[in-house]
Amino acid sequence: MNIMDFNVKKLAADAGTFLSRAVQFTEEKLGQAEKTELDAHLENLLSKAECTKIWTEKIMKQTEVLLQPNPNARIEEFVYEKLDRKAPSRINNPELLGQYMIDAGTEFGPGTAYGNALIKCGETQKRIGTADRELIQTSALNFLTPLRNFIEGDYKTIAKERKLLQNKRLDLDAAKTRLKKAKAAETRASIWAEEVTKSEQELRITQSEFDRQAEITRLLLEGISSTHAHHLRCLNDFVEAQMTYYAQCYQYMLDLQKQLGSFPSNYCNNNQTSVAPVPSASSNVIGSSALTSTSGLVIASPTNLIDLKECSGSRKARVLYDYDAANSSELSLLADEVITVFSVVGMDSDWLMGERGNQKGRVPITYLELLN
């Protein structure tokens, strides 16, 4: 029975407090009651926290779109996250494209130029898919998770304390209003003296609670600067992850371009031998550093090649790109290997005779770099 009485009294007190706050809030909006203003420093901190929350949400959501453009996949990942379960692994777009290319190349025949090229492209696309998966995992761990922790953790605490501060301010202003009314009535009737004393005591209590809550809120808000510093470190991690990803993709595509450059430019059938394959112009631009004379290397410039074809001796040459022989009269090459080359009377000007151990065959001059 006593517990029930206590609960009823508490419920009545809470209802009275809520009503008092509602009345104070309404009168403030109507301009019929005074409002205690927060100090400028606290207002600035509140504004900074709100601004941080808004932009953090926007950056977080757009980063998620960047890393996972498929909205259905994002919703699925969100549901699994809320259920505290691991989302099933799914093949990404580069990996799927790579698998299609490999399957097509296998069906066309790995021995054909087009089939072989498709397989090489497919393998590269799958490597890009793996790099893409690593970027998503690293970015989610080092960038998105800290941002989400701020929104769902720190800022929720700030919002809770801010709401509590607002309630304490309403209680304070309501107490001020009651005291003001009691003092006005006291001048007309001495019976109000006790009410004035009660109102003054209530004002002191509400003022103390308001000041305490303002200090708690201020301390939390001042932590926003530390949040910015932490998010800056996370941003650096995100940029580093992107840099690693794009560097990997660039290297994969550069290697693929060199491999594709090894195919004959006018491939028709295995009997075509009169035209030497030429690496693409973009390969020469991207790999220009590899074509610079360094450490005793001599680039296979037209003058050097003419000198070589006119002389009767042999020279050492480094292979610039992989090359698959089109027929038995040619010699397959691997990038960076060193072979012996010499000219043969009557041979097409775009070709030299290459020798590696007991293997011998024609090699395209555009794939060679003469050594001193």
Type of residue found at 308? L
Topology, domain 33-262: Substrate Binding Domain Of Dnak; Chain:A; Domain 2 (1.20.1270)
How far from 103 is each of 112, 122, 275, 330, 337, CA to CA, in Å?
14, 9, 30, 29, 31
Confidence band, pLDDT 50/70/90 cuts, at residue 84: confident
List, in order, residues 6 or more apart from 86 with CB less than 8 Å away.
80
Query: Residues of 156-174 as b/e, b for ≥16 C-beta within 10 angstroms?
Result: eebeebbeebebbbbbbbb
Share of the chain above pLDDT 70, in %: 78
- What tens digit of pLDDT does each residue of 127-185 get? 999 999 999 999 999 999 999 999 999 999 999 999 999 999 888 888 888 888 877 77
What pLDDT shows up at residue 1? 47
Bigger pLDDT: 252 vs 27: 252
Q: Answer whether 351's CB lies under 8 Å from 365's CB.
A: yes
Quote the pLDDT of residue 70: 79
Closest CA to 140 of 90, 207, 78, 199: 78
| DSSP conformation letters of 30-84 | TT-S--PPPPHHHHHHHHHHHHHHHHHHHHHHHHHHHH---HHHHHHHHHHHHTT
CATH number of 315-370: 2.30.30.40
End-to-end CA distance of the chain: 106
Nearest to 277 by CA among 118, 117, 142: 117
pLDDT tens digits for range 261-304: 765 544 434 434 434 454 443 334 333 333 333 333 344 444 45
pLDDT of residue 10: 62
Q: What pLDDT does residue 189 have?
A: 60
pLDDT of residue 295: 38
pLDDT of 99 strictly over 90: yes
Average pLDDT, the chain: 81
In whole angstroms, what is the distance from residue 329 CA to residue 360 CA? 8
Domain positions in the chain: 33-262, 315-370
